[in-house]
Amino acid sequence: MHPRIEDYALIGDEQTAALISRDGSVDWLCLPRFDSGACFAKLLGHKDNGHWRIAPKHTKGPCTRRAYRPDTLVLDTEWETADGAIRVTDLMPQRDHAPDLVRIVEGLHGRVTVRSTLRIRFDYGSIVPWVRKSRGHRVAVAGPDSVWLRSEPEVHTWGEDFGTHSEFTVEKGEKVAFVLTWHPSHEPRPPLVNPHKALRASVRDWQKWSGRCHYDGPYRDAVIRSLITLKALTYRPTGGIVAAPTTSLPEELGGVRNWDYRYCWLRDSTLLLNVGLSAGYREEAESWRDWLLRAVAGDPADLQIMYGLAGERRLPEFEVPWLSGFAGSAPVRIGNEAVNQLQLDVYGEVMDTLALARHEGLPIKPHMWAIQSALMEWLRTEWRQPDEGLWEVRGGRRHFVHSKVMVWVAADRAVRTLELNPGLEGDLDGWREFRDEVHREVCEKGYDAERNTFTQSYGSQELDAALLLIPRVGFLPPDDPRVVGTIDAIRAELSHDGFLRRYGVDGTTVDGLPGGEGTFLACSFWLAEALHMTGRTQEAHELFDRLVGLANDVGLLSEEYDPVAGRQLGNFPQAFSHIGLVHTALALFGADRAG
């Protein structure tokens, strides 16, 4: 039986990440970066596409228990067997030279025979490397990639079935540590990492980082776990944050909505900055702001919805036919052609983020206002275009209401910045007129007076959960009857077991794709916050409690949830969902900086 998405836990070193199943198998790992080719791709195929399992020899099922060490990204997985018990501790220490995957086996009681099975497959499970022995290592090489495996103390390994295997026994207190290290094949082996020192340092550093969190309200454990997850999804060299460390985990089992999320989306920008500043992570917020400024620099007409880890612009999409997909959900896609879409909302998100950064006192970059002014001038002449909208639909452009609302946000933040900073130059009167013009048009063309709700696009009957953001961004106050009516309509038409879909999915939808999808967790968090803003705080608390309860046993959330099957869907873990959890917790129980 194929594992469920929620069967996985995450470890990482802030440059890449691995997913580990309940049975002790590392089934996904891209090296050396989040967006590199995977050397373990069993997640999207089968065992011959690469994995590394360490578990008791005669145990084929899941572990007995697992958990992160408190306030860390260090994972402990334990098995109780008839012969005794063991613990496998998994981590990826922050790298000085090359990425290391550390796996430490420890005997807890009795005497247990442990089996390690390692199958390296470079290029998303397609390339079987040449494996040799060298100075106590097993070395796997193919093309540009090289992986070194060693153990402390050294255990016997042998090759079989195109894999590297070992067996050993541990008693109480005995430890065997494995270290898997990647480096470019043309370079010498990097310095060795002491696995036990790496473990102590990782626990210390993660707990110190978690201790900086300012939030001390209800659900603090869930908030801390979400913040740790967002930190793990950060590409430390640049400050960019990937939407997820995976590609092609399906939004419907057996469906075709399988996308590559290993890139950085501008849609996340304001909420990421808000969450970082509100929770006490000013340094991380500034790094994200600086990544954003570098990524969007250039011709405003070329602004993209997403970028690579360092701001790369070309993210060509192609399919990988040799992978069967998660639980048979094909195709598996690498890259994301949505990068070429026009989404007017990103201009609002960039302007909102930079306005918030200025308001919160982050150091001003000398070119920041010049970039903002250029974005505004382009937007003022081009905002009437239809676009693909927040959800990156592939069914043609429309005049999406959320996109136009975010155009208003861009103008509003530009106006407010000039009003608060009279030393800056800009067309204050012109931008005020622009802002008012957009507001009038949205209220005239994007609002259905008979149903008392804003609609997904001008003249349409469909609804869109993104409209829940109207009061948050300040387009209308929460007590406006049109806001309350929109919230009620979305709850009535997009709700599934109390959670929200993004929009109607019936096989002929706006996205132009067949099939359906699950409820969208970020949208459900938006609903909880909207209910709170409109005075229905008890309902907001009840919904938030249900949403937190959807996290798996180690506190992780994917992009979507299937209420019928009771399982997570979509790429995992999903930054958008964890941002939603933290932001909503701050709104309901702590200091909220939104709006």
The gap between the terminal CA atoms of the chain, to the nearest Å, is: 46
pLDDT for the residue numbered 593:
41
Contacts of 200 (CB under 8 A, 6+ apart): none
AA letter at 304: Q
Supply the angle between the helices 220-232 and 575-589 in degrees, to the nearest 10: 140
Contacts of 417 (CB under 8 A, 6+ apart): 355, 358, 369, 372, 424, 426
Instruction: Name the pLDDT band for 136 (thresholds 50, 70, 90).
Output: confident
pLDDT for the residue numbered 208:
98
Provide the 10 A C-beta neighbour count for residue 340: 14
User: Do 286 and 320 meet the contact criterion of CB atoms below 8 Å apart?
Assistant: no
- Considering the chain, what is the average pLDDT of its residues? 95
pLDDT for the residue numbered 591:
54
pLDDT for the residue numbered 108:
98
The span from the CA of 87 to the CA of 37, in Å, is 30
The span from the CA of 550 to the CA of 556, in Å, is 9
Greatest alpha-carbon span in the chain: 78
pLDDT for the residue numbered 512:
62
Side-chain-side CA neighbours of 500 within 13 Å: the count stands at 27
Dihedral sign, CA of 410, 415, 418, 421?
negative
pLDDT for the residue numbered 595:
36
pLDDT digits (tens, 9 = 90+) for 68-117: 999 999 999 999 999 999 999 999 999 988 999 999 999 999 999 999 99
pLDDT digits (tens, 9 = 90+) for 149-180: 999 999 999 999 999 999 999 999 999 999 99
The span from the CA of 411 to the CA of 347, in Å, is 9
Looking at residues 382-390, what average pLDDT do you find? 95
The span from the CA of 259 to the CA of 37, in Å, is 15
Provide the 10 A C-beta neighbour count for residue 220: 14
CA 34, 332, 519 angle in degrees (round to 5)? 85
pLDDT at 1 over 80: no
User: Do 492 and 484 meet the contact criterion of CB atoms below 8 Å apart?
Assistant: no
Dihedral sign, CA of 361, 367, 368, 370?
positive
pLDDT digits (tens, 9 = 90+) for 184-200: 999 998 899 999 999 99
Helix (H, G, I), strand (E, B) or coil at 441: helix
Output the CA torsion 409→414→416→419 (10° steps).
-160
Exposed, middle or buried, 204 (CB in 10 Å: 0-12/13-18/19+)?
A: exposed
The span from the CA of 398 to the CA of 538, in Å, is 36
Residue of 311, 305, 371, 306 whose CA lies nearest to 344: 305
Looking at residues 25-44, what average pLDDT do you find? 98
pLDDT at 13 over 50: yes
The span from the CA of 14 to the CA of 20, in Å, is 16
Looking at residues 366-382, what average pLDDT do you find? 96
- Could you tell me how many residues make up the chain? 595
CA 156, 159, 164 angle in degrees (round to 5)? 75
pLDDT digits (tens, 9 = 90+) for 532-583: 999 999 999 999 999 999 999 999 999 999 999 999 999 999 999 999 999 9
pTM of the model: 0.96
Question: At 379, which helix (H) or strand (E)?
Answer: helix 368-382
Instruction: Name the pLDDT band for 396 (thresholds 50, 70, 90).
Output: confident
pLDDT for the residue numbered 505:
63
